[in-house]
Amino acid sequence: MSRFLAVISLILCVAQSFAEENRSETAPAKKPQRIVSPELFPDHRVTFRVRAPDAKKVSLHGEWDGKTVAMTKEDAVWSITAGPLTPGLYGYGFVIDGLRTIDPSNPNVKPQRSPNTSILEMPSTPPRLDEFQDVPHGTVRLHDYRSKALNVLRHLQVYTPPGYDKSQENYPTLYLFHGSGDNQAGWTVIGRAHYILDNLIAQGKATPMVIVMTDGHAANSPPGTPIPELLAYNLAAFERDLFQDVMPFIESNYRVKTERDSRAICGLSMGGGQALTIGCNHLDKFAWIGGFSAAIFEPEKTGGVMLSDAAANDKIRLLWVACGKDDKLVKQAEKFSELLKKTNIRHELKITEGNHSWPVWRFYLADFLPLLFTEKK
């Protein structure tokens, strides 16, 4: 009996060993451990990680300093710790063997034509002007429309101030444009224009207004077109769409004032060049004009008919140009200002610290908005 039990025990051991071996061969591969990136620490340092087992070189590019820094590899994961960072909102991305890419572990992605930038937010106490605060908030509405001028489907966003839906008031309008790499969502997702204006209104520092944010890419020029020609080609199509479709749409569907003194136009980089050129050449439509890090390749064309308008200073309520000292476009801003001085056009030129980046442009918007639609001239 004992021999029988021993044989049975041996058979069971062999069967169990075979089963375990078979399971190891057929079981699915163990999933890689979840990557946490970015990981924020109380001292405002941040660790970034990306799994790239076959990569030869991985770097981090961050908007907080504009530098690209090499990351180190452990097993299959590359990482680096940056900071401490000043509280704020920053774009960043990885460069993996020469390819710029988003952080695949971070769902917050900057709106772009070719997305390659993730968004990091380092909260602050008390909240920054571009952070959500416990104040009355406006509404951002999304619109698709068929452009009659261009015969294509296009998109825009419209911010209405707190209380808009419950009032019968008509509001002034700011047409706000993005840069060449972005789209119409840029000024809300990473520009935080709606939070900035909500908070300024709550502080009594800005006039409640409607903000229209439309897609600045209105046309595609042939490949290889030089940047100045490309911008000019796109500007012509963009202006047609703005005047023939966007403005009529806004003024038919929103309670906005339609006189020139109640319209402002402003933008950054490519959108800054668009805003300055359209505004300066159409003082019959806009009294408030601004450009942040504006792409001004031909100052005379940007100034346009305004330069020879003897009544220009009576028509312009504000002409405001700003650029960072480390911005590649700062010389263009200075040349434009010199031209305006020669033609005695009243304007403001603001040269600040900073480069060609969203932290600078949010700062400019916070300065620009309180100047709009005021009595002072």
* Predicted pLDDT of residue 29: 57
Question: What gap in Å lies between CA 222 and CA 236, rounded to an integer?
Answer: 15
Q: Does domain 39-122 have CATH number 3.10.450.50?
A: no
Residue 350, helix vs strand vs coil: strand
Question: Tens of pLDDT along 229-263?
Answer: 888 889 999 999 999 999 999 999 999 999 999 99
Question: Tens of pLDDT along 345-371?
Answer: 999 999 999 999 999 999 999 999 999
Confidence (pTM): 0.88
Question: What gap in Å lies between CA 163 and CA 58, rounded to an integer?
Answer: 49
Residues of the chain with pLDDT under 50: 1-27
Structure tokens at 141: 């509405």
CATH domain 139-371 topology: Rossmann fold (3.40.50)
Structure tokens at 256: 């906005």
Cα distances from 294 to residues 73, 247, 271, 323, 352, in angstroms, run 40, 22, 7, 8, 14
CATH 2.60.40.10 domain span(s) along the chain: 39-122
CATH 3.40.50.1820 domain span(s) along the chain: 139-371
* Predicted pLDDT of residue 153: 96
- In angstroms, how far is the first alpha carbon of the chain from the final one? 110
Longest dimension (CA), the chain: 119
Question: What gap in Å lies between CA 13 and CA 347, rounded to an integer?
Answer: 90
